[in-house]
Amino acid sequence: MTAEPLELPGVEHVYSGKVRELYARPDGTLLVVATDRISAYDHILATPIPDKGRVLTALTLWWFERLAGLVPNHLLSVDVPAEVNGRAMVVERLAMFPVECVARGYLAGSGWADYRATGAVCGVGLPPGLLDGSRLPEPIFTPATKAPQGEHDVNVDLETVSASVGRPTAEQLREITLRVYAFAEEVTRERGILLADTKLELGHRADGTVVLADEVLTPDSSRFWPLDRWEPGHAQPSFDKQYVRDWLTSPASGWDRHSGDAPPPLPDEVVERTRARYVEAYERITGRTFM
């Protein structure tokens, strides 16, 4: 995929996200295209990861099929222009909720940072003595604000979400998010992968029906850890872009994430290993060979 959005027949480009390009179709639906871009530390990196967009799309389609009995999704068709075949979906146009719906079953990332500082995550109190990577007593809903591109999402509590969308809707978002997490955590565990946490994008139709949108349960939106290597007390090996983050913050990159400068291009080895992690996540979860 190129850095600039493709010009595609019969559709109008309307938005560029960190990873996805959004196009409006004449019938009022949308075409969502997953590129090979990768982001880290609120920067879109100059170096793409080959096939990343195809992996994200294929894995999302696999999950949509299995989650259909739990929550409706926005997928209408995969009949897309040839230029984006395998990395695009035709979807419903929804009114999106202004919140990132996050479920956590394990302490990691910003959740671990919040716990160390306050003993809680998003207002949910947790027992003392937990470690980086510890399994929580039960999965928790830890929403975040949707920050503008280039800024960082901020963890918030359920009351903040309620003030934005109303208490009944906030409770519904929490229930759906935890239901999806519980189902997916069981599926991935059977395949030797721990689902540490995941982020869902939810919207609603004109009749108020809550709908699962964007991507779901991919290495971009979830932390996947190898079950046989799980060991609380430190950062876990993962099937996601953590390899990129680790390289960027290592002396090898020469980059200071607090400098305001753009990150450097990724070396070939980092690109290849990151691609391999995305492909392995897809193959282990689905049982299919990525083609």
The CATH number of 95-229 is 3.30.470.20
Give the amino acid at 257.
R
Contact criterion met (CB below 8 Å) for 96 and 213: yes
Look up the pTM and report it.
0.94
Topology agreement, domain 1-93 and domain 95-229: no
Q: Is the dihedral of CA 162, 151, 179, 92 positive or negative?
A: positive
The CATH number of 1-93 is 3.30.200.20
Q: What is the pLDDT of residues 262-277, one digit of tens each?
A: 999 999 999 999 999 9
- What is the rounded CA–CA span in Å between residue 222 and residue 94? 23
DSSP H helix total and E strand total for the chain = 6, 16
Which residues are CB-contacts of 64 (< 8 A; sequence separation ≥ 6)?
73, 75, 212, 216
Task: Divide the 291 residues of the chain into consecutive groups of 10 and give the mean pLDDT of each group.
Answer: 77 95 98 96 94 98 97 98 97 97 97 97 97 98 81 88 97 98 98 98 97 97 96 94 91 94 96 96 97 88
First to last CA, the chain: 17
Nearest to 238 by CA among 212, 285, 274: 274
Give the start-to-end residue ranges of the domains of the chain.
1-93, 95-229
The per-residue pLDDT for 97 is: 97
